[in-house]
């Protein structure tokens, strides 16, 4: 899910529908209702794709995702009417297979996030490990210039974390400091969930020394709020969380809103700049895996965050 600033709506593509069902539908949210779109061209059904709006090209960009036993490293753009494929799959790979190093584009990996980075002036993709959770030996921070990928460097937790690279962390840009922020995730080398916070200044990742922090978790969601700080919701570490936290650029503050979505993880969350609201959609509430290895059941409720409390709007 991404906020399409050129058309002032939220765009959602694909995802899990419960059981073994994968979706390939496109929806837009105008602040009050969902509208299904019927583009003539579309990506294949998948879940876990990374989406973000590129203010330079004024297009929403989608990268990768998984389709049960296959995985993708293709790139698509959404212009408000249709999808266009900008880069085809290099090869459809089976999650779990070790891929050959490739320093010219990000082959499919267990994704973390994608966001526009003001310091770089481009969309930045953060991946972790090769498909199937093997530690990455190639750059895993990438910039998209509208046509091609450019490696920005390798992010290795191994210098401070014995469990190596992680996935299912939460990523967003902090507007006030103009740094990408990544929180949490769990180890693709078999280790536990983590609670560290990292920031990216356009060239280097640095571990933040936050005096307070959410507990270790993966699958949390992170986005800008109206104040210009970041809001984090949910996540899971054996059980799902319903906590709301704020990152102010130097530390985490736990918030206690009067209303809140139910505990969940893998929700989608974006900032709607035209309405000054953070939008949260869906997610899952149960860590039990289905036949696809995905948690269940999925939710389809939608909430807004105004910086003080949550409100359910659909």
- In this predicted structure, what is the pLDDT of residue 66? 83
Beta bridge partners of 311: 304
- In this predicted structure, what is the pLDDT of residue 132? 44
The better pLDDT of the pair 131, 201 is held by 201
Q: Pick from 10, 63, 59: which is nearest to 271 by CA? A: 10
Is the pLDDT confidence value at 45 over 50? Answer: yes
Q: How many CB atoms lie within 10 A of CB 14?
A: 24
Q: What is the mean pLDDT of residues 144-159?
A: 75
Q: What is the mean pLDDT of residues 120-127?
A: 91
User: What confidence tier does 17 reach under pLDDT thresholds 50, 70, 90?
Assistant: confident
Average pLDDT, the chain: 85
Residue 288 is given by DSSP the state -
Tokens of 263: 């505990």
Q: What is the mean pLDDT of residues 225-248?
A: 96
Q: Of the ranges 17-21, 64-68, 208-212, which one carries the lowest mean pLDDT score? A: 17-21
User: What confidence tier does 165 reach under pLDDT thresholds 50, 70, 90?
Assistant: low
- In this predicted structure, what is the pLDDT of residue 67? 83
Cβ neighbours for 3, distance < 8 A, ≥ 6 positions apart? 9, 10, 11, 53, 270, 271, 272, 273, 279
Q: How many CB atoms lie within 10 A of CB 223?
A: 24
Q: Can you identify the CATH homologous superfamily of domain 2-312?
A: Kelch-type beta propeller (2.120.10.80)
- In this predicted structure, what is the pLDDT of residue 285? 87
Is the pLDDT confidence value at 289 over 60? Answer: no
* Cβ-based burial of 287 (10 A; exposed 0-12, middle 13-18, buried ≥19): middle
Q: Pick from 39, 42, 33: which is nearest to 14 by CA? A: 42
- In this predicted structure, what is the pLDDT of residue 288? 55
Q: Kindly report, residue by residue over 261-287, the tens digit of the pLDDT.
A: 999 999 999 999 999 999 999 998 876
User: What confidence tier does 148 reach under pLDDT thresholds 50, 70, 90?
Assistant: very high
- In this predicted structure, what is the pLDDT of residue 73? 87
- Report, in angstroms and rounded to the nearest whole number, the Rg of the chain calculated over CA atoms: 18
Structural domain boundaries in the chain:
2-312
Q: How many CB atoms lie within 10 A of CB 195?
A: 17
* CA pseudo-torsion sign 93, 97, 100, 103: positive
> End-to-end distance of the chain based on CA atoms, in angstroms?
16
Catalogue the E-assigned strands of 30-104.
Answer: 34-37, 50-54, 59-67, 70-78, 83-87
Question: Degrees (nearest 5) of the Cα angle 221, 140, 128?
Answer: 50
243: alpha, beta or left? (left if phi > 0; alpha if psi -120 to 50): beta
The better pLDDT of the pair 99, 179 is held by 179
């Amino acid at each position: 899910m991404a906020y399409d600033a050129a058309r002032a709506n939220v765009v959602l593509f694909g995802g899990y529908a419960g059981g073994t069902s994968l979706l390939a539908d496109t929806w837009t949210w105008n602040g009050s209702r969902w509208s299904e779109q019927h583009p003539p061209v579309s990506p294949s059904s998948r879940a876990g794709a990374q989406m973000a709006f590129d203010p330079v090209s004024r297009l929403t960009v989608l990268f990768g995702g998984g389709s049960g036993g296959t995985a993708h490293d293709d790139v698509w753009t959404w212009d408000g009417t249709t999808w266009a494929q900008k880069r085809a799959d290099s090869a459809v790979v089976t999650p779990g297979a070790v891929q050959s190093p490739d320093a010219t584009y990000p082959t499919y990996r267990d994704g973390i996030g994608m966001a526009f980075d003001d310091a770089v002036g481009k969309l930045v993709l953060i991946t972790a490990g090769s498909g199937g959770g093997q530690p990455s030996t190639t750059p895993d921070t990438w910039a998209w210039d509208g046509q091609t990928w450019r490696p920005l460097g390798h992010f290795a937790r191994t210098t401070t974390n014995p469990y190596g690279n992680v996935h299912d962390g939460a990523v967003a840009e902090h507007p006030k400091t103009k740094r990408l922020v990544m929180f949490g995730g769990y180890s693709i080398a078999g280790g536990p969930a983590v609670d560290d916070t990292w920031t990216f200044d356009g060239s280097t990742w640095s571990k933040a020394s936050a005096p307070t922090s959410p507990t270790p978790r993966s699958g949390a969601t992170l986005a800008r709020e109206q104040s210009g700080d970041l809001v984090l919701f949910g996540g899971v570490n054996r059980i799902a969380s319903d906590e709301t936290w704020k990152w102010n650029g130097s530390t985490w503050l736990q918030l206690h809103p009067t209303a809140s979505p139910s505990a969940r993880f893998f929700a989608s969350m974006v900032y709607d700049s035209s309405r000054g609201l953070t939008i949260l959609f869906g997610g899952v509430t149960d860590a039990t895996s289905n036949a696809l290895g995905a948690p269940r059941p999925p939710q389809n409720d939608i909430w807004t965050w105004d910086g003080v409390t949550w409100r359910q709007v659909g």
